[in-house]
């Protein structure tokens, strides 16, 4: 799949933003007034910034409002609905903390649940795709949710939780990669089932339908960056998990905490890049590619 | 609504004969010709006369080599367009309701004024049957020429999809695959029509007829009971080395 920057930025930033909103909703850290304002501003900047970035890849962003209508069947529509619901509820809850110094706990819990639900709906957009075997696994929502909660813990300064979660997330990440590497072969879809020509003999793509490129090849058959996949996985592991872990394990210091956040963000962006670049869409088979 | 209809009254679709398709791409051209100036946004091209041309097509013809265990390889031309799946994953993922499957005939369409161009439906289609138009920013796909098949302004013979009308090899058939007595259903039953990627669970309406076995060009001798056998001995080479004048010439030239 084509690793579109808008989608990578969107899933990385908004995942982190909703992760922070989750912790704020639960009352961690227990802030009010201007400190609360700062925390909420960061969370909203990440979550809303990510959502806005995602509209950049739309052909007709001006019609985006229509995406709220099909929540009965479409995960993308569900994501649109839950994200707005989460932002509204957490906005009210945040207003209570900032302007009235009051923590409306119930509202906070609802907002926290909605924030996680938003991350879940995002992950299901990918996990539902039978056409991309690497994504189609319950591990995909597990990965997105653990990453969001972990990132939120780092941002909200919940150091102990962050340390445990970083370890957990790293394990989920490695398992997700491991499983993904055999996913296409294990899916049962191959050139023989794609063409139905497996019975007479061995099928090989002889000539593509067009000599130039097209939408399908640009969008679904991204092979360029894959040869660096192993290096990038290492970078993602070190920057996303190991380094933040080390920085947070040291005696607390604001500079270290900031570095941990930045390192985590960069590592997760690299992991998200791989999430797309390594994903094989079955349509590539028709072109003799994967 | 992007939930799928429980059932459709008819299942209009194509039957594509991989045995007779000659890979001429005429269906590709006629499809583009009709659909760029009728239903919905035109099918744009980018840099069409330049070094790096690309564009939107609703039908494309691949070619595959099939190598049997024994004998010569076969070249199979393979036209591919939307299969108007019964369980169309492209419809249910659409967030806006732009993609839908019609209850009356099962045709899968995009309402372009509702489409936000998110591309998710193309992600969900395993067959690469949907292409986002780069100029219009909306999703394009085969409409089964919905603006021809019900069009009383056209002569009856033209009230079929453009690709079917055009195919010089008679490799494309159009009809109701939901009716077991229709010509297309009969053809599918007779020739063992198949689903593409059945494991994806899309239940495609369009069916593909497998290529029939070809003559065995590299067969050394005809089997005992085949008709060819009667004349075959007369066709066997009678001598390995030339005789007569040619033999003399051969020998003389050899000596020189
Ligand atoms: S072939 Fe693709 S676009 Fe057409 S109905 Fe099936 S899934 Fe949808
Ligand atoms: S590109 Fe258009 S038709 Fe396809 S899923 Fe998005 S809104 Fe629906
Ligand atoms: S027009 Fe007919 S013979 Fe030519 S490529 Fe299309 S299906 Fe095959």
**Axis crossing angle, helix A33-55 with helix A5-26, rounded to the nearest 10:** 150
- Residue A208, pLDDT > 60, answer yes
256 residues of chain B, pLDDT tens digit each? 678 998 999 999 999 999 999 999 999 999 999 999 998 999 999 999 999 999 999 999 999 999 998 888 999 999 999 999 999 999 999 999 999 999 999 999 999 999 999 999 999 999 999 999 999 999 999 999 999 999 999 999 999 999 999 999 999 999 999 999 999 999 999 999 999 999 999 999 999 999 988 776 555 555 555 555 566 666 666 666 667 777 777 777 777 7
Kindly determine whether residue B52 and residue A57, on different chains, have CB atoms separated by under 8 Å: no
Q: Is A21 exposed, middle or buried (0-12, 13-18, 19+ CB in 10 A)?
A: buried
The answer to whether residue A110 is domain-embedded is yes
Tens of pLDDT, residues A211-268: 989 999 999 997 766 778 899 999 999 999 999 999 999 988 889 999 999 999 999 9
Q: Report how far residue A40's alpha carbon sits from residue A118's, in angstroms, rounded to the nearest whole number.
A: 17
Output the CA A160–ligand 3 centroid distance in Å.
66
Distance from CA of A152 to the nearest CA of B (A): 28
The answer to whether residue A250 is domain-embedded is yes
The answer to whether residue A207 is domain-embedded is no
The answer to whether residue A26 is domain-embedded is yes
B140: tokens are 């394009």
Cβ neighbours of A188 in B, within 8 Å: 199
Mutate to test the pocket of ligand 1, among B88, B203, B205 (most ligand atoms within 8 A of CB): B88
ipTM of the modeled complex: 0.93
- Terminal CA-CA length for chain A: 10
* Strand runs labelled E in chain A: 202-207
Cα A55 off chain centre by? 15
Cβ neighbours of A59 in B, within 8 Å: 115-119, 132, 136-139
How many domains does one find in chain A? 1
pLDDT at A289: 87
Output the CA B59–ligand 3 centroid distance in Å.
10
Kindly determine whether residue A194 and residue B196, on different chains, have CB atoms separated by under 8 Å: yes
Correct CATH for B12-209 of 3.40.50.10070, 1.10.10.10, 3.30.70.20, 3.30.300.30: 3.30.70.20
Tens of pLDDT, residues A93-128: 999 999 999 999 999 999 999 999 999 999 999 999
Q: CATH number, domain at A126?
A: 1.20.1630.10
Q: Is this model's pTM higher than 0.80 or not?
A: yes
Domain-by-domain residue ranges, chain B?
12-209
pLDDT at B226: 52
Using a 6 Å cutoff on CB, does residue B187 contact ligand 2? no
Kindly determine whether residue B78 and residue A75, on different chains, have CB atoms separated by under 8 Å: no
Residue range of the domain that includes A119: 5-194+214-287
Kindly determine whether residue A193 and residue B64, on different chains, have CB atoms separated by under 8 Å: no
Is residue A194 helix, strand or coil?
A: helix
Nearest CA to ligand 2 atom 4: B121
The answer to whether residue A209 is domain-embedded is no
Report residue A204's pLDDT band, with 50, 70 and 90 as the boundaries. Answer: very high
CB–CB of B8/B109 below 8 Å? no
Cβ neighbours of A210 in B, within 8 Å: 57, 60
Q: Which of B25, B68, B208 is nearest residue A196 as measured by Cβ atoms?
A: B208
């Amino acid at each position: 799949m084509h690793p579109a920057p808008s989608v990578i930025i969107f899933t990385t930033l908004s995942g982190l933003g909703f992760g922070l909103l989750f912790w704020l909703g639960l009352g961690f850290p227990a802030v009010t007034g201007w400190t609360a304002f700062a925390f909420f501003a960061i969370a909203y900047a990440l979550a809303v910034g990510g959502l806005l970035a995602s509209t950049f890849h739309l052909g007709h962003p001006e019609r985006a409002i229509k995406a709220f209508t099909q929540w009965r069947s479409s995960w993308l529509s569900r994501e649109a609905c839950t994200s707005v619901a989460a932002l509204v509820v957490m906005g009210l809850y945040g207003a209570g903390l900032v302007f009235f110094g009051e923590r409306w706990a119930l509202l906070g819990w609802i907002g926290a649940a909605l924030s996680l639900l938003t991350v879940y709906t995002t992950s299901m957009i990918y996990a539902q795709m039978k056409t991309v075997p690497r994504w189609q696994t319950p591990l995909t929502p597990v990965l997105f949710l653990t990453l969001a909660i972990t990132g939120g813990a780092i941002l909200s300064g919940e150091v102990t939780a962050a340390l445990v979660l970083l370890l957990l997330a790293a394990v989920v990440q490695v398992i997700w990669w491991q499983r993904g590497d055999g996913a296409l072969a294990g899916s049962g879809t191959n050139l023989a089932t794609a063409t139905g020509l497996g019975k007479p003999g061995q099928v090989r793509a002889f000539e593509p339908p067009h000599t130039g490129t097209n939408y399908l090849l640009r969008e679904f058959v991204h092979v360029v960056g894959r040869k660096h996949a192993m290096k990038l996985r290492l970078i993602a592991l070190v920057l996303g998990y190991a380094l933040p872990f080390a920085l947070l394990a040291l005696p607390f210091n604001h500079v270290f905490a900031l570095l941990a956040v930045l390192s985590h963000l960069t590592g997760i962006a690299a992991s998200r890049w791989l999430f797309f670049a390594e994903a094989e869409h079955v349509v590539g088979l028709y072109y003799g590619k994967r | 609504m992007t939930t799928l209809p429980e059932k459709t009254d008819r299942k209009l679709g194509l039957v594509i004969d991989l045995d007779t398709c000659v890979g001429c791409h005429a269906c590709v051209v006629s499809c583009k010709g009709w659909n760029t100036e009728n239903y919905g946004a035109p099918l744009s091209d980018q840099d069409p006369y330049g070094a790096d041309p690309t564009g939107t097509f609703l039908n494309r013809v691949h070619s595959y080599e099939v190598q049997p265990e024994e004998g010569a390889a076969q070249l199979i031309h393979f036209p591919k367009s939307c299969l108007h799946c019964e369980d169309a994953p492209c419809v249910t993922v659409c967030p806006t309701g732009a993609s839908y499957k019609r209850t009356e005939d099962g045709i899968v369409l995009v309402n372009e004024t509702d489409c936000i161009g998110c591309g998710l439906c193309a992600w969900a289609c395993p067959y690469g049957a949907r292409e986002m138009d780069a100029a219009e920013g909306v999703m394009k796909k085969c409409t089964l020429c919905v603006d021809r098949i019900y069009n009383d302004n056209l002569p009856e013979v033209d009230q079929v999809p453009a690709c079917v009308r055009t195919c010089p090899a008679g490799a494309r058939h159009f009809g109701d695959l939901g009716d077991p007595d229709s010509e297309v259903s009969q053809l599918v039953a007779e020739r063992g029509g198949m689903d593409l990627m059945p494991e994806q669970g899309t239940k495609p309406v369009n069916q593909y007829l497998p290529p029939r076995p070809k003559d065995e060009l590299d067969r050394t001798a005809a089997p005992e009971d085949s008709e060819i056998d009667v004349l075959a001995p007369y066709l066997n080479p009678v001598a390995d080395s030339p005789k007569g004048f040619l033999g003399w010439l051969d020998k003389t030239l050899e000596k020189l």
